[in-house]
Amino acid sequence: MADKEKARPAFAVWIADVTAAVEAPNELRERADPEPEQSLRFAGIRKVAIFGAAGRTGRLIVDLLLANSLRVTAFVRELRSGYDLPDVVRIVEGSIERDEDVREAIEEQDAVICALGPSRRGPPDVLAVAAGTIFPAMRDLEVRRYVGVLGATVRCPGDSATLGAAVVYGIIRIMARRFVRAAGTHLRMAEQSGLDWTIVRPPRLTDGPPAGVAAGYGVRLAARSSISRADLAEFVVSQLDTDRWVGRAPMVVGRTRPR
Ligand SMILES: NC(=O)c1ccc[n+]([C@@H]2O[C@H](COP(=O)([O-])OP(=O)(O)OC[C@H]3O[C@@H](n4cnc5c(N)ncnc54)[C@H](OP(=O)(O)O)[C@@H]3O)[C@@H](O)[C@H]2O)c1
C-alpha cells in the first residue's frame, strides 16, 4: 500500500484522499453509534503510566489524573528543567525505542496513556516506534487498558468530512506523510494488540478553555474544527472510567465555534 502510494504523484494521492473522505458511506457512519455509557468508576485502575507527559496535553492529563487520586508515572525523554512535573509523579527517564525503558514505566501500572506528538527532536515515526515498544510491554506485564492520542488525519471507516476539511486534511496527510503514516501504523497495531485500547482522534488543538466535546465516527469534521487541550485531556482521562470506546477510535471535536 505504502509502495503504491509512493509510485503515484502527490496530486493523485491527494485527489483520491479528498474523494474518499467526502464520500464516506452513510451506513458506516451509522454503525458508529455507541452503546450506552457504562461507568467503571476507575475500577481496578489506581496507577497510570503516561508517555508524552511533559507535552502540552500530557501535562494537563497528569494534573487530571492526580486530581482523581490516581498515581502517575511519567515517561520522559530526559530529565530537564522546565518539565515542571509535580513531585508526587514518579518519573521514568528513557528512550521510547528501548524496550527495557518502556517496560520500567509500565511495570506495576493499571493503565497506559500515550500523548506523544511530533517533535523537532524526532523521530518522525515516533508513534509507530511507541506502538512497537508499548504494546508488547503491556501484554507481557498484563496491563490491559490503553488510551492513545493520534489525530484527525488518521482516517477510519465511517468518518465524515466537509469538502473543506477533506482538502485541508488531504494536504496535511501529504505534507506530514511520515508522521501520519506512523499514526496509522499505531492505530493498526492497537487494533491487533489484544489490549483494551481506545485511540482518540482530535483535530487542531488549541489552548482555549474547556467547552465540551462531540465524540464518534460520524462527527463531521470541518476545515476549522478544533478542540482545546483541556477538553482533550478531560476526554482521555474519562476513558479510564468507561468501556464505551474500548476497541474504537473516535474523532473528538470541541464544541466551540471556530474562530
Ligand atoms: N498540535 C495539534 O494541533 C494536534 C492536532 C491533532 C492531534 N494532535 C496530537 O495530540 C497529542 C498532543 O499534542 P500536543 O500538541 O499537546 O503535544 P506536544 O506539546 O507537542 O507534546 C508532545 C510530547 O511528545 C514528546 N515526544 C515526542 N517524541 C518523543 C520521543 N521520541 N521520546 C519521548 N517523548 C517524545 C515530546 O517530548 P519532548 O518535549 O522531549 O520533545 C512532548 O512532551 C499528540 O499525540 C499529537 O499528535 C496534535
Sorted by where each starts, the structural domains of the chain and their CATH numbers stand as 42-157+178-254 (3.40.50.720)
Do the beta carbons of residue 208 and residue 48 sit within 8 Å? no
pLDDT confidence of residue 105:
98
- How far is 190 from 149, CA to CA, in rounded Å? 12
pLDDT at 24 over 60: no
pLDDT grade for 257, boundaries at 50, 70 and 90: low
Q: Is the pLDDT of residue 201 over 70?
A: yes
Ligand 1 shell residues, CB under 6 Å: 52, 54-58, 77, 96, 115-117, 119, 121, 126, 149, 151, 202, 204-205, 229
Please write the tens of the pLDDT for every residue from 128-177: 999 999 999 999 999 999 999 999 999 999 899 999 999 999 999 999 99
Sign of the torsion formed by the C-alpha atoms of 130, 116, 1 and 21: positive
pLDDT at 29: 39
**Per-residue confidence (pLDDT) for residue 34, from 0 to 100:** 46
Predicted local confidence at residue 9, as pLDDT: 66
pLDDT (0 to 100) of residue 11: 63
Average pLDDT over residues 242-256: 93
pLDDT at position 39:
53
Gap from CA of 190 to ligand 1 centroid (Å): 18
Q: Can you read off the three cell numbers belonging to residue 45?
A: 485502575
Mutation to probe ligand 1, out of 77, 97, 252 (largest number of atoms < 8 A from CB): 77
- Any residues with CB less than 8 A from the CB of 86 and at least 6 apart, and which? 62, 63, 66
- Strands (DSSP E) found in 40-171: 47-51, 71-76, 90-93, 111-114, 145-149, 160-161
Q: How confident is the model at residue 27 (pLDDT cuts 50, 70, 90)?
A: very low
pLDDT in tens, 209-219: 999 999 998 89
* Cα(55) to centroid(ligand 1), Å: 6
Q: What is the pTM of this model?
A: 0.88
The percentage of residues in the chain with a pLDDT greater than 90, rounded to a whole number, is 72
Handedness of CA 149, 154, 156, 159 (dihedral sign): positive
pLDDT at position 170 is 92
By most ligand atoms within 8 Å of CB, the mutation choice from 50, 51, 57 for ligand 1 is 57
Cell 502540552 locates to 56
Going from the Cα of 149 to the center of ligand 1, the distance in angstroms, rounded, reads 9
**pLDDT for position 14:** 59
Nearest-CA residue for ligand 1 atom 7 is 151
Give the pLDDT confidence of 99-128 residue by residue, as tens digits.
Answer: 999 999 999 999 999 999 988 887 889 999
Average pLDDT over residues 18-36: 46
Cell of 209: 478553555
| Half-sphere CA count of 128, side-chain side, radius 13 A | 13
Q: Is the pLDDT of residue 20 over 60?
A: no
| Cα 36 to middle of ligand 1, angstroms | 31
What is the 126 CA–ligand 1 centroid distance (Å)? Answer: 10
From CA 52, how far away is CA 117, in angstroms rounded? 7
pLDDT > 90? residue 230: yes
Atom of ligand 1 nearest to the CA of 201: 7
